[in-house]
């Protein structure tokens, strides 16, 4: 796949997948209505806003890595030619999913809407099941020992303190 085509498909997928999961559905659940909470909640809201911004930044970085490093997309029907292990993938195997959950969690703090907490928990369970049941087996089949080495060295959900460097 050409990089230009991968970039276009990735941009569309960015809107359709994380855009819907971390943007549209939370909006449908809350109308992004900010609950009237005590003044002491303001620092928590600021932390939540930073989590949302960090989530979007991590997502954007991860999508670019798929195009530039992997010569493909995060879309399962248009996968990368190479295993993506650079950038934030040196710290955690699933930065996109972690970023989506951070964005949802950040919205919980900003909006004070607890139904988003329940929604975030459901998303976490679904994502973990998808990674375990489909994504990891597919990567093992596709990239073999290269993925096995990466999987042994880099945690799935909690980032390493130091970046991993492949041999």
Structure-block tokens of residue 8? 């276009």
Scan for tokens 């093992």, then name that residue: 140
Q: Give residue-wise pLDDT tens across range 63-76.
A: 999 999 999 999 98
Helix or strand (DSSP H, E) at 13: helix 3-16
Tell me: pLDDT of 1 over 90: no
pLDDT of residue 144: 97
What CA–CA distance (Å, rounded) separates 120 from 38?
24
Scan for tokens 């970023």, then name that residue: 99
Q: Give residue-wise pLDDT tens across range 14-53.
A: 999 999 999 999 999 999 999 998 999 999 999 999 999 9
CA neighbours within 13 Å on the CB side: how many for 113? 19
pLDDT of residue 52: 98
Q: What is the pTM of this model?
A: 0.94
Mean pLDDT of the chain: 95
Q: Give the long-range contacts of residues 97-100, CB within 8 A, separation 24 or more.
A: 97/127, 97/131, 97/157, 98/58, 98/157, 98/159, 99/18, 99/54, 99/55, 99/56, 99/57, 99/58, 99/59, 99/62, 100/18, 100/21, 100/22, 100/55, 100/59, 100/127
Segment 73-91 shows an average pLDDT of 94
Segment 104-115 shows an average pLDDT of 97
167 falls in which pLDDT band (50, 70, 90)? confident
pLDDT of residue 68: 94
Segment 121-134 shows an average pLDDT of 98
């Amino acid at each position: 796949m050409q990089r230009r085509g991968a970039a276009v498909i990735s941009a569309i997928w960015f809107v359709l997948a994380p855009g819907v999961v971390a943007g549209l559905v939370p909006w449908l659940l809350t109308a992004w209505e900010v609950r009237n909470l005590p003044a002491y909640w303001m620092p928590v809201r600021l932390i939540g806003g930073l989590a949302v911004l960090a989530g979007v930044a991590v997502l954007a970085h991860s999508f670019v890595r798929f195009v530039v490093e992997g010569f493909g997309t995060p879309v399962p029907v248009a996968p990368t030619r190479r295993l993506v292990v650079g950038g934030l993938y040196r710290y955690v195997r699933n930065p996109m999913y972690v970023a989506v959950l951070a964005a949802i969690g950040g919205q919980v703090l900003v909006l004070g809407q607890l139904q988003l907490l329940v929604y975030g928990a459901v998303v976490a369970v679904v994502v973990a099941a998808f990674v375990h049941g489909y994504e990891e087996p597919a990567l093992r089949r596709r990239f073999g020992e290269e993925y096995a080495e990466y999987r042994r060295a880099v945690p799935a959900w909690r980032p390493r303190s130091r970046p991993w460097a492949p041999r």
